Structures are given as C-alpha cells and as structure tokens.
Structure 1
C-alpha cells in the first residue's frame, strides 16, 4: 500500500517535471522564433529606409514604417542628433541606443510602449523627449538622469498621479500632460521653477488646482476639457500670456491681465471688449496730443527761438567775440540809449518801466512752465505707446506657443 502510494507520487513528480521541461522548451522556441523574426525585420527594411540610414544626415525620420522593433543598425549611427520613430508598433527600444551619445531629440509617439526603457534614461544630452500616445502609467527613478531635458510630451497615456521624478529635472520648461487621468496636482508643484508651459487638458479635474497660483512664471496654461466650474482670478500670474479653458462648465473667462490671450466660453467677447478699450484709449491719447500741439505750438517755438538767441549771445560774450548787429538791432540799441539819457535828465517814468520789465519776466516764466508741462505730457504719451507695442509682441508670442 505504502509502495503504491510512493510510486504514484513519483509518477506525479515526473509528470510535473516533464511539463516544466515542455514549458521551458516552448518558451525557448518562442524566443528563437521572435529573434528570427526580428532578424528578418532588420534584413527586410521598408523601401527607402536603407538610403536614409546611409545618408549621414544627423536627422533620421522612421515614422510610420510599421516597425515592431527599432532596426539594430540605427544604434550604430553615432552622428544622430534627432531620431523620430513615431507611429510604429514598438514596445521597447534596444539597449544599444545608449551608444547615440549625441542624441538631443527622441520622438516615440504613437507606439505601444508600456514602460520607459532604462536605456533612454542614459541619453543624457536629450533636450526633448516625446512619449505621447503610448501605454505608460509611471516613470522609472532613472528618468532624473536626463538633466538637460527641456521639453517632455507625455499626453494620451494612463497617468493617474503626477510623476514626482519630474521634480529632479531642473531645466524642464514645457510639460505636456493632456489626456491622462489626473484628478489633482501635488501641493509642492511650485518647486518646478523652470516650467513655462503646462498642458493639462482632457484630465479629470473638478476644481482648479490652487498650487498653480504659486507658479508665477507660467506663460502658457491649458486646462481644456476638464470639469472645473469656477476659476479664480489669474491676475496673480504676471507672466501668463495664454490661458485656455475651453470645454469646462463655466459661463465666462476668469480675470486675467490685459495682455493674456484667452480661449474658451465667452473669450471672444472679452477680447473684443479689450480691443475696443485699447482703441478708445489710443484715440483719446491722440486727441490730447493734437490739442496740445494746436494750443501750445507757437509759444514753444517762440521760447526756443529766444533761448537760441540768448545762448548765442552768451557764447559770444564768453569768448570776448564781437557779435555783429543787424540794422534793426542797431536802431533799437540807439533808441534805448536815447531813452536812458532822457530818464537820466528827467527821472520820469522810471517806476512804470520797471513794472513793465517785471511783467515781461513773469510772462516768460509762465510760457516756460507751459513748455515743461507739454514736454512731460508728450513723453508720457510716447511711453504709453511703447508699452502698447510691447504688449502686442507678448500677445503674439503667447498665441504661437499653444500646440494641441
């Protein structure tokens, strides 16, 4: 009885071992088959790809070539600076990609990548990394190796939490996280001080993330297609140039600076009102300028002429030069001398003439005051005009910055 039981157990163990061996063999067979397919893929490159690989161009675009893996020969192109492999069926990239030390731009959008390959995290000269429309849910800690990264696009993935590994990328300026599954942002997001553009459209926000109000250097903020019902006043973001809130259940735009471009419900009306206010202000300034020129012009010219004459006269005396007199000036001087002799003889009318001199002096002071006031107003108008032109340039910059 006991022998029979032990025999049955032994047979069961043998069956399990045989089954395990069969599974291992099957796994090995599949691996060999996969490797053979990959080798065939390397050999059977799509039409025109061989020419691209042999061109020596630092930019290589292999997008939409139906690759299931990156051709191994690509990792030997050490001169590459930009590599685009969008719209294929890649699940990973070969480890040998680390040999592309000079790579600055890597685009892997629209593939089937589930985890960021660690080899990518060793490309330390990357400045732009595009991982949109894959199957990512997280980043590896090694992502912080990309210290030169300035632009990261990771839209249309499956992130439910903000990846804190991004905090360790000191130069990251543009972060595209649209169409993920975020419900909130970490309260210390303000630590990303280099960030200038943040795209959060198509997530699951029901409230405006208050931490964004502390990110005073943000220039572009996109919160389209969320479920936010109330927006705070955004005038506390002085650098903001573009704010997009389209597709949220709100009736109108939040308060923003006059130079901010708006996209969303009620934005068109606000922008039209803003343009009207600006045009009206311009017209009023122009009318003030014309009024000042019409009312003060002759006085200014007279003062300037007098000032030039006095300056010339002073310069002549200073250098002991004889200033030749015109016929009119000579006659005037003779009349003044004759009047002085008469006053000396009779002493009459002296008080009257002194009063007249005081009056002339007072009139000149009044005219001088008017000139200074006009100059100040003209300078102020020119300064406003410069500010207006600068605002147009900043607004145009914000309009061009949006990409989605």
Structure 2
C-alpha cells in the first residue's frame, strides 16, 4: 500500500512537474517574442519616432508586424514588402488614416480581415503572396482605386471585385486564370487591366465590351488570334507580347501596340501618315497656285473675306439639314466660328509624349519603362520604390 501510495504521489508530482515545464516553455517563448520585438532592426526605432506619415519596413525579415506600428495614428502610407508575414494584427484597424498599404512578397494565404476595415485605402498591393481568393468583406474598401495582386494562385477571377465601384487599376498578372466572367463589363470604372502570364488560350470576348479600358496587357498567354480592337474607343496601349501570333490586331491609330510584329506595324503606320501628310500639303499648294481655296471635310479653310457666303457654302457641302442651319447661323454671327482650321494631315498620336498621369492606372515601381518606342517589362523580383506623388506606374513580379 505504502509503495503504491508513494508511486501514485510520485506520478502526480511528475505530472505536475510536466505541466510546470510546459508553462515555463510557453512563458519562455513569450519572453523571446517580446525580446525579439524590442530588438528592432537598425534605424526602425528612429522611423517610429519621426512622425513621418510614410513608414517603409520592407525587407526587414519580420515574421509579424511590430505592435508599435498599430499605434502610429498619423500613418498614411505603410510598406511592409519582402518580409515573412502571414497575417496582420487586428489592431491595425486603428490606422484609419492609411491610404496606401503594400504587402508584396510575404507569405499570406488569406487577405487579413483587418485590412477590410481600413476604409480609406486607395491603393492595396498584395502581389507575390499565396492568395487563391478574396474575402467578401473586401467590399468595405469603397475608396480603393488601385489593386495589385499579381503572382498569386488565383484560378478564377474574384467576383468580389465587382463591389469596388472606384477600382480603376487591376493588376492580376502571373496567376492561373483561363477565362474571365461574362459579366466583367460591370466593372465600368476600370481603366487599366493587366492579365499577362495567365493561361488564356483564346481572347476573352468580354473585353470587347470594356469600352473604358485605356491599358490592356495580355503578354505571355497562349492566344493565337486576336479580334479587331477598334471597338475599344478609349484604348491607348495594348500589349500582346509572347503569344503565338505573328502580327498585331487591328487597332485605332492612337493605340500603341507591343508584341511580335508591332515594331513593323508602327513603322508602316507612321510611314502611311507621312505619305498622307505630304499628299495633303501638295494638294494645298496646287490649289493655292490655282487661286482656289482648299476645301477640307466640306468646310472652307480660308473664308474670312466673305463670312456669310463661306458659311452657307460650307453648310451646302456638308449635306445635313440641321448642320446647314447651324453653320449658316454661325456664319452670320462670326465667320471665325464657322471655319475649321485643319492642316490636312490626320490626327497624330505623339508616342513620346504619352504620360498616364492618373494614379489609378500606373502605379510607380520598377518593371515599367516607357521610352516611346518599346515598352519593356522586367518581372524579376525587385525592391519597389514607391512614388511619394499621387500618380504612379506598373510593377510586375514573378511568383
């Protein structure tokens, strides 16, 4: 009995000792975490105390966001790229002044729910993580204009984006998309759409209904045939490089194209414009020598000497009753208002002067270089340099 009792007491003592050991281990881990947080990388402490509305903690090897960050109520821009974050603390919802949040190159498998409470966000960068879907709470981000989530694992286009009425720039390249939903046209605010590096084998026809698109990138897919894109009136840049096609699709004269055969296409287009310009100049010279006034698009070019007669003749030439009356009235009031000055050449698109100033379309970062002739995409991993101005460009990254 005594031995048995002794043995039982010993077992209880051993069990109690085991519990003490487990608690001690947990306490030790907490202590290590606290010490780890106290030992901030060089220079970070000064950042916290600076009062700067921009905080860049990129590539600091953080496994979790330092708790002190969530107390910086003055923050407007927070960059935490290239760390090992899997989520964010709920306390980040305190940063209601945050407008830009960059979480590229981390280890997130889900979008932290706390992000969806940052209702003043205008730009959110989630590229190069492990995302497969978006939470329905994303609809809370009604101010969001720019969303970049390239180099993730999306197999289907996330319909949660439909609930973001102000989203103008969507970067979803280097994912696993094969199709687009037939009602994608509902995203009427969209101006820039990057779909490069996905798995499209045919051109998504729904894109032909995206009449407000200015930038469309379908590089590195498996599309062998493109339809005419002339029905996209706002389109200014179309990139189709590294698809199995030999020539660009039909586009409006204002569109810059990038891809196989694009250089020859652009050269030929410029040569055609030059021929038309010279022909128009020659015609104008011949008319001048003959003492006649050149008629451009049915409207006399130089008719200030007889304004009323010029307006009436222009109206007859146009052949439209309503227009005739309007032009004639304008001629009676002021000849100059009825006269259209036109040099005979077609409208030219100055490729060197293209600047997409809207912050929503082009978000600044390495990987987007525009030199007027070619558009170069560098998709190697890089350190992002975020522009402090409101307007920005394109970034890309490999998974």
TM-score (norm 2): 0.72
User: How big is the shift at 1:93?
Assistant: 1.1
What secondary structure is seen at the aligned counterpart in 2 of 1:38? helix
After superposition, the C-alpha distances for 1:294-346 in whole angstroms (9 at most, x for unaligned) are: 43289xxxx989x8xxxxxxxxxxxxxxxxxxxxxxxxxxxxxxxxxxxxxxx
Contact 2:280 2:344 in 1 (8 A): no
Please say if 1:201 is aligned against 2:192.
no
Q: Where does residue 354 of structure 2 map in the other structure?
A: 396
Contact 2:248 2:261 in 1 (8 A): yes
Please say if 1:212 is aligned against 2:172.
no
Change (3 A) 1:55 1:22: same
Q: 1:252 aligns with which of 244, 247, 255?
A: 247
Contact 2:277 2:344 in 1 (8 A): no
Q: 1:184 aligns with which of 169, 179, 185?
A: 179
Q: Where does residue 382 of structure 1 map in the other structure?
A: 342
What secondary structure is seen at the aligned counterpart in 2 of 1:136? coil
Q: 1:85 aligns with which of 80, 88, 93?
A: 80
What secondary structure is seen at the aligned counterpart in 2 of 1:201? coil
Q: 1:286 aligns with which of 234, 259, 281?
A: 281
The whole-number CA distance in structure 1 between the counterparts of 2:20 and 2:145 is: 45
After superposition, the C-alpha distances for 1:125-155 in whole angstroms (9 at most, x for unaligned) are: 0000000000111111111110100000000
Contact 1:250 1:265 in 2 (8 A): yes
Change (3 A) 1:249 1:369: closer
User: How big is the shift at 1:189?
Assistant: 0.7
User: How big is the shift at 1:89?
Assistant: 1.0
The whole-number CA distance in structure 2 between the counterparts of 1:24 and 1:178 is: 52
Contact 2:105 2:129 in 1 (8 A): yes
What secondary structure is seen at the aligned counterpart in 1 of 2:124? strand
Contact 1:174 1:197 in 2 (8 A): yes
Q: Where does residue 380 of structure 2 map in the other structure?
A: none
Q: Where does residue 115 of structure 2 map in the other structure?
A: 120
The whole-number CA distance in structure 2 between the counterparts of 1:25 and 1:188 is: 59
User: How big is the shift at 1:70?
Assistant: 1.1
User: How big is the shift at 1:382?
Assistant: 1.8
Q: 2:95 aligns with which of 97, 100, 122?
A: 100
Q: 1:41 aligns with which of 28, 36, 40?
A: 36
Q: Where does residue 387 of structure 2 map in the other structure?
A: none
Q: 1:227 aligns with which of 198, 222, 227?
A: 222
User: How big is the shift at 1:222?
Assistant: 0.6
Please say if 1:143 is aligned against 2:103.
no
The whole-number CA distance in structure 2 between the counterparts of 1:24 and 1:213 is: 68
The whole-number CA distance in structure 2 between the counterparts of 1:173 and 1:38 is: 41
Q: Where does residue 338 of structure 1 map in the other structure?
A: none
User: How big is the shift at 1:379?
Assistant: 5.4
Change (3 A) 1:36 1:157: farther
Q: Where does residue 359 of structure 2 map in the other structure?
A: none
Change (3 A) 1:191 1:54: same
User: How big is the shift at 1:31?
Assistant: 5.5
Change (3 A) 1:30 1:102: farther
User: How big is the shift at 1:293?
Assistant: 3.4
What secondary structure is seen at the aligned counterpart in 2 of 1:162? coil
Task: Mark the structure with the bigger radius of gyration.
Answer: 1
Q: Where does residue 266 of structure 1 map in the other structure?
A: 261
Q: Where does residue 110 of structure 1 map in the other structure?
A: 105
Higher RCO (CA 8 Å, separation ≥ 6 residues) = 2
After superposition, the C-alpha distances for 1:181-205 in whole angstroms (9 at most, x for unaligned) are: 1111111111111011110111111
The whole-number CA distance in structure 2 between the counterparts of 1:238 and 1:154 is: 27
User: How big is the shift at 1:65?
Assistant: 1.2
Q: Which has the higher helix share?
A: 1
User: How big is the shift at 1:388?
Assistant: 2.2
User: How big is the shift at 1:53?
Assistant: 1.2
Contact 1:260 1:395 in 2 (8 A): no
In structure 1, runs of 5+ residues without a counterpart are 1-13, 308-364
> How many residue pairs align between the two structures?
321
Q: Where does residue 330 of structure 1 map in the other structure?
A: none
The whole-number CA distance in structure 2 between the counterparts of 1:161 and 1:304 is: 62
Change (3 A) 1:30 1:177: farther
After superposition, the C-alpha distances for 1:96-118 in whole angstroms (9 at most, x for unaligned) are: 11010100000000011111111
After superposition, the C-alpha distances for 1:44-69 in whole angstroms (9 at most, x for unaligned) are: 11111111111111111111111111
